[in-house]
Amino acid sequence: MVEPPSGPLQRPLPDGTVPERVVVRTEGRWLTIMVVMLVTMMVIMVVTSFVGALHPASNVEVIDSRTLHLKGEFVESNLGTALEPDGSATVRLIAQQYDFVPRCIVVPAQVPVRFRLTSDDVIHGFLLPNTNINTMVVPGFVAEVRTRFSRPGDYVMPCHEYCGLGHQAMWAQVRVVPWEQFAHRGLLERTSCAAQ
Ligand code: CUA
């Protein structure tokens, strides 16, 4: 009486037996393909993190979300775009269900722009397509991200973190204008689309 083959690799298949060395060789090829893909994706991640300045926010800054509107940096009169003495711009925004405040902001092109955001209710997301900006906005923390817009234009900024029933309608807009349109502004002036 013939003993049935013990290893699953030696069991005959309906069309015949696949020899173990063939299986080993095929698995080896797949393993090589997987390793090459993994290494390629790792290289892409490392290169784009340097070239495109894509990396996790390094900013850890806490804020009391219960008093956002009453005092401190995120009072309403301080929201929008502010020019810094060095010519760069700082944008302050509040994310809340289901809107960004202000809803539309104006920023100058070709200078460094720093976004500072916080939330006064739940976790929101802040994404500017075609830029390196992509962050979560967590209540109790200030999210800070930096970029530079190379040319004027309108950018949409969707909330990309599910925040409730109105999440899909939570959009805002960034209007990038030539630097000259900003040059005459005072340092204390805040800008949003409504002021245009
Ligand atoms: Cu805010 Cu989704």
How confident is the model over 130-184, as pLDDT tens digits? 888 888 998 988 989 888 898 888 888 899 999 999 999 998 888 898 888 776 6
From the CB of 68, is ligand 1 less than 6 Å away? no
CA distance 119 to 126: 11
Cα(1) to centroid of ligand 1, in Å? Answer: 70
Q: Taking the complete model, does pTM exceed 0.75, yes or no? A: no
Cα(93) to centroid of ligand 1, in Å? Answer: 14
Which stretch of DSSP H or E encloses residue 21? Answer: helix 20-51
Q: Taking the mean position of all CA atoms in its chain, how far away is CA 122?
A: 17
Strand-strand pairing, 134-137 and 104-108: unpaired
From the CB of 159, is ligand 1 less than 6 Å away? yes
- Cα angle 92, 123, 106 (rounded to 5 degrees) comes to 25
Give pLDDT, residue 44.
92
pLDDT above 90 (res 104): no
Quick one: tokens of 104?
A: 């539309």
pLDDT higher at 16 or 86: 86
Give the nearest ligand 1 atom to 158 CA.
2
From the CB of 172, is ligand 1 less than 6 Å away? no
Quick one: tokens of 50?
A: 């340097």
Query: Taking the CA of residue 195 as centre, how many other CA atoms within 13 Å lie in the half-sphere pointing to its CB?
Result: 17
Helix/strand/coil for 175: strand
From the CB of 63, is ligand 1 less than 6 Å away? no
CA distance 135 to 144: 8
Cα(35) to centroid of ligand 1, in Å? Answer: 37
Q: Are 117 and 90 in contact (CB under 8 A)?
A: no
Q: Are 107 and 177 in contact (CB under 8 A)?
A: yes
Share of residues in the chain with pLDDT > 90 (%): 26
